[in-house]
């Protein structure tokens, strides 16, 4: 699986958009980008995933660059409950390939 690089921490004001970047320059053509978040002392929670097109769901938007070497997770209106560690993972979608977690980004939403 490709390795990902994320900034260790970010702050965001409540109500503003949180933009979390991820670099995955060695991603393969059949690997998807998955985003999870982990709130303190809980298991990771799925947020969104994509291959090459931008994706949006009720939680977030995922913007993937045209060369697929990086992506950005956007939380459009961050709330205090979005304070968590956000992990970007790349892997193939089919089969049971293991997830390898990087260091993630610790997002702190400020009141």
**Site residues for another protein per CB under 8 A:** 34, 36, 38, 41-46, 49, 85, 87, 89, 91, 93, 96, 98-104
End-to-end CA distance of the chain: 37
CB of 16 to another protein, least distance (A): 26
Closest CA to 99 of 55, 42, 33: 33
Query: In the complex with another protein, which residue's Cβ is closer, 17 or 28?
Result: 28
Cα distance between residue 108 and residue 100, in whole Å: 23
Distance of closest approach, residue 15 Cβ to another protein, in angstroms: 27
Q: Which is nearer to another protein, 16 or 101 (CB)?
A: 101
Q: Given the structure tokens 């400020």, which residue do they identify?
A: 110
To the nearest whole angstrom, how small is the minimum distance from the Cβ of residue 64 to another protein? 16
* CA–CA dist 11, 98 (Å, integer): 30
């Amino acid at each position: 699986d490709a390795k990902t690089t994320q900034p260790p921490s970010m702050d965001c004001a409540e109500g503003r958009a949180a933009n979390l970047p991820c670099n995955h320059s060695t991603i393969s053509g059949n690997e998807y980008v998955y985003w999870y978040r982990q709130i303190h002392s809980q298991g990771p929670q799925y947020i969104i995933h994509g291959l090459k097109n931008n994706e949006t769901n009720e939680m977030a938007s995922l913007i993937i660059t045209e060369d697929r070497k990086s992506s950005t997770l956007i939380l459009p209106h961050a709330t205090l409950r979005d304070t968590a560690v956000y992990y970007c993972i790349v892997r193939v979608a089919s089969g049971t390939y293991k997830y390898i977690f990087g260091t993630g980004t610790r997002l702190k939403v400020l009141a």
